[in-house]
């Protein structure tokens, strides 16, 4: 069996679908990590806050309200313990954070211990700080996992917040703690019923409140912080400071003067356990707690990396999209000016000087459209041309219809089905002229299209010319989407590729070629499913220029259903990937081939492969932003992006002489149609990975008379 027949034959293997399962699993993992990030988002620590707790202090024992700040929750009716005179317990909340290391440096310098109440999610990525605390004789306590107001959280969440923080401590130090301090807490006298109920449910802990709240989070200045941390007379005190949750430069500066001053006044610094003359509760964590803690910290770390990566990716993708539109507009304008300037200065050629043209029409089951195609070609205003219809083993009346038209200069050749490349090569071999126009069997030409195509070949350096393909059946929503896509994407891109000398595709619907250029590359190859892209890239690599003729109009029938659209774009995308891989060596080449490789192939890879593959994740990030950021900012960003797209679309429509009213479908196209195209790319890349060999997909045609 020939290569063409093998390409045309269906693959006997059923295409695997595991990539969709893997994509679903991947997006599910991304969604879970984003959910984790959303839960953790915004928990920056202490700050101005109106407590949502209610109920006053009717349920809090009077002994607790009037007692010391260290409360044994196993005996909740007993008064809290007070720190001995001339003793200071330095406590730090909301860490570990960027300033924790500096605070530890200050404590180590003066050989002063501290007690750190850590936020569990903040431990991720900073486990080394907790190990340093434990090794340095400091104590570590629980300050919840996400810093909520425990007075307003349900019991199940309170339990989860404490448990997950213990796991984080266990993963970092190998130990667990019996110390706890709830967020937004202060002196025992201001305990509310809600918070007290939450604390009495937590179990075997020592609740550590405070005597002196420095409110250093408000950044009142180092002197004010030091003054707020100084007890009256010779009293002892539990002092509340913060090592994270914001800029803590003032806290660090205050400690550097406060500690030596208090030491000079005869004060002793101690941890909570030392101040109470209780042996430190170094409770060893179980293996299970350590492992679960490591999983917890890894999940938090991954979610943080994911959000950071998505933010970078979202910004980069948006910037690239905007940059792409700007570059397309600039180069399209340059191309348009050059085309108009050349048209004004050109002398209309004498008909006798125009080269003869052979129009080759490969056709397979094109009964619905072949008559309109051939009639439009025959009606072209061109002095010398012939039409060769190659019927590639059609099972309908394609050949008979073409013959029955009775148009002079039309030849119909029939052959056994061998695939489109085989049909094209048959027509090229039978051509009488050295300029060949290759046309799909469903294409309809304008009267002056042949002249516009051939005029671009006046430059002897030009080996191929791309025409301007337009959607004929644009009445339905799907047709309008494709119409907008053709005008914006296909034709703006081709103007850019022309200016940059890196045209990757002359469409099968309309293209003109020199016979010498075709001979240089060995004719039309059947190595890929996108024979037009493969052929164009080969011609570029052979040193020929490939240009775009925007006035050479050809009308084609776009897929009328999503199923047909999927099959067509799947074949196009898969074939383009094959062609890019086949011609990958152009990236390292010089001259015309190098321009194709470093400009054309890089552009295709970035905007037609890489970004579409990343699109599902970017879309998930956008949805995440709607729920975690200011939705108005996200909405305005999307509207700004849409505005840029609309400006590009409007300019493209103006260049092509199209009515702008069709652009009303653009917003919906960005939401719906774009997703389908992204899924096509994913399916195509998966097929390439599997090594699937696809058959030629034949679309169901309605015929030009039904457009």
Name the active-site residue from 93, 94, 194, 442.
93
Instruction: State the pLDDT at residue 316.
Output: 84
Tokens read off for 598: 């470093």
Q: For the chain, first and last CA: distance in Å?
A: 39
DSSP 61-122: -HHHHTS-SEEETTSTTSPPB-PPTTEEEEEEEEES-TTHHHHHHHHHHTT---EEEE-GGG
pLDDT in tens, 350-367: 788 899 999 999 999 999
Closest by CA to 596, choosing from 610, 582, 613, 609, is: 582
* Confidence (pTM): 0.74
The pLDDT score that the predictor gives to residue 10 is 40
pLDDT at res. 390:
96
Half-sphere exposure of 515 (CA within 13 A, CB side): 15
- Name the burial class of residue 180, with classes exposed (0-12), middle (13-18) and buried (19+) by CB atoms within 10 angstroms of its CB: buried
The C-alpha atoms of residue 366 and residue 385 are separated, in whole angstroms, by 22
Q: What is the pLDDT of residue 613?
A: 80
**Which residue from 444, 289, 290, 293 is spatially nearest to 359, judged by alpha carbons?**
444
Parallel/antiparallel/unpaired status of strands 283-284 and 268-270: unpaired
By the 8 A CB rule, do 500 and 599 touch? yes
pLDDT reported for residue 52: 47
* CB burial of residue 49 (10 Å; 0-12, 13-18, 19+): exposed
Interatomic CA distance for residues 568 and 6, integer angstroms: 19
The pLDDT value recorded for residue 691 is 66
Instruction: Please write the tens of the pLDDT for every residue from 47-76.
Output: 555 444 444 568 899 999 999 999 999 888
Residues of the chain with pLDDT under 70: 1-19, 23, 41-57, 279-281, 690-707
Q: Which of 663, 648, 660, 605 is nearest to 331 (CA)?
A: 648
What is d(CA 212, CA 596) in angstroms, rounded to the nearest whole number? Answer: 71
pLDDT at 12: 40
398, 429 contact by CB (below 8 A): no
> In order of start, what are the domains of the chain with their CATH numbers?
62-285 (3.20.20.370), 314-706 (3.90.550.10)
Question: Which residue in the list 138, 143, 147, 242 is annotated as catalytic?
Answer: 242
Catalytic residue check, 242: yes
| Separation of alpha carbons 24 and 29, rounded Å | 9
Per-residue model confidence (pLDDT) at position 611: 83
Radius of gyration from C-alpha coordinates of the chain: 37
Going by their DSSP bridges, the two strands 283-284 and 212-213 should be labelled as unpaired
Burial (0-12, 13-18, 19+ Cβ within 10 Å), 282:
middle
pLDDT at 4: 40
Residues 262 and 88 sit within 8 Å (Cβ to Cβ): yes
Cβ of 358: how many Cβ atoms within 10 Å? 21
Long-range contacts from 54-58, C-beta under 8 angstroms, 24+ separation: 54/192, 54/193, 54/194, 55/192, 55/193, 55/194, 56/192, 56/193, 57/191, 57/192, 57/193, 57/196, 58/193
Asked if 634 and 622 count as a contact pair (C-beta separation under 8 A), the reply is: yes
């Amino acid at each position: 069996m020939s290569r063409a027949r093998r390409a045309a034959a269906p693959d006997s293997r059923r295409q695997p679908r595991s990539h969709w399962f893997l994509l679903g699993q991947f997006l599910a993992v991304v969604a879970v990590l984003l959910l984790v990030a959303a839960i953790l988002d915004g928990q920056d620590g202490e700050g101005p806050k109106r407590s949502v707790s209610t109920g006053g202090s009717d349920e809090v024992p009077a002994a607790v309200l009037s007692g010391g700040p260290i409360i044994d929750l196993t005996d909740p009716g007993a008064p809290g313990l007070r720190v001995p005179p001339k003793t200071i317990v330095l406590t730090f909340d909301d860490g570990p954070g960027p300033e924790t290391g500096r605070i530890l440096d200050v404590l180590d310098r003066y050989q002063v211990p501290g007690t750190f109440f850590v936020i569990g999610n903040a431990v991720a990525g900073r486990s080394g700080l907790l190990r340093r605390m434990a090794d340095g004789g400091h104590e570590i306590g629980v300050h919840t996992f996400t810093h909520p107001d425990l007075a307003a959280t349900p019991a199940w969440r309170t339990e989860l917040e404490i448990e997950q923080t213990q796991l984080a401590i266990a993963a970092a130090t190998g130990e667990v703690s019996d110390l706890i301090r709830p967020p937004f807490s202060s002196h025992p006298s201001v305990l509310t019923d809600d918070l007290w109920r939450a604390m009495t449910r937590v179990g075997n802990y020592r609740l550590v409140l405070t005597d002196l709240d420095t409110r250093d989070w408000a950044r009142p200045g180092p002197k004010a912080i030091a003054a707020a941390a100084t007890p009256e007379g010779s009293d002892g005190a539990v002092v509340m400071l913060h090592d994270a949750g914001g800029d803590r430069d003032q806290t660090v500066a205050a400690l550097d003067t406060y500690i030596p001053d208090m030491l000079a006044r005869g004060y002793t610094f101690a941890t909570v356990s030392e101040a109470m003359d209780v042996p430190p509760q170094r409770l060893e964590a179980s293996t299970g707690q350590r492992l679960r803690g490591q999983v917890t910290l890894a999940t938090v770390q991954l979610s943080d990396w994911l959000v950071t990566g998505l933010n970078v990716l979202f910004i980069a993708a948006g910037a690239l999209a905007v940059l792409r539109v700007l570059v397309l507009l600039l180069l399209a304008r340059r191309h348009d000016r050059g085309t108009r300037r050349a048209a004004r200065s050109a002398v209309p050629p004498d008909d006798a000087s125009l080269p003869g043209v052979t129009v080759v029409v490969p056709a397979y089951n094109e009964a619905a459209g072949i008559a309109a195609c051939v009639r439009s070609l025959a009606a072209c205003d061109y002095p010398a041309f012939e039409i060769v219809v190659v019927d590639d083993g059609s099972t309908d009346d394609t050949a008979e219809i073409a013959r029955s038209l009775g148009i002079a200069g039309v030849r119909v050749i029939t052959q056994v089905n061998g695939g489109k490349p085989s049909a094209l090569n048959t027509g090229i071999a039978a051509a009488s002229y050295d300029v060949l126009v290759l046309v799909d069997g469903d294409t309809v030409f304008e009267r002056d299209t042949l002249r516009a195509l051939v005029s671009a070949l006046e430059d002897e350096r030009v080996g191929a010319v791309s025409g301007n393909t337009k959607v004929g059946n644009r009445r339905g929503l799907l047709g309008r989407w494709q119409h907008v896509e053709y005008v914006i994407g296909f034709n703006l891109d081709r103007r850019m590729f022309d200016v940059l000398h890196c045209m990757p595709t002359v469409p099968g619907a309309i293209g003109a070629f020199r016979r010498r250029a075709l001979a240089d590359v060995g004719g039309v190859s059947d190595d890929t499913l996108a024979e037009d892209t493969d052929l164009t890239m080969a011609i570029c690599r052979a040193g020929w220029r490939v240009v775009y003729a925007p006035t050479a109009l050809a009308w084609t029938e776009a897929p009328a259903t999503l199923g047909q659209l999927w099959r067509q774009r799947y074949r196009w995308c898969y074939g383009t990937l094959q062609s890019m891989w086949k011609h990958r060596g152009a990236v390292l080449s010089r001259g015309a081939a190098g321009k194709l490789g470093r400009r054309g192939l890089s552009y295709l890879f970035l905007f037609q492969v890489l970004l579409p593959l990343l699109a599902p994740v970017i879309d998930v990030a956008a949805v995440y932003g709607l729920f975690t950021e200011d939705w108005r900012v996200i909405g305005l960003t999307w509207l700004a992006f849409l505005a840029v797209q609309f400006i590009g679309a409007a300019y493209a429509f103006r260049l092509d002489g199209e009515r702008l009213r069709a652009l009303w479908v653009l917003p919906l196209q960005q939401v719906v149609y774009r997703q389908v195209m992204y899924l096509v790319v994913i399916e195509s890349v998966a097929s390439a990975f599997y090594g699937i060999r696809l058959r030629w997909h034949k679309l169901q045609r309605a015929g030009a008379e039904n457009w």
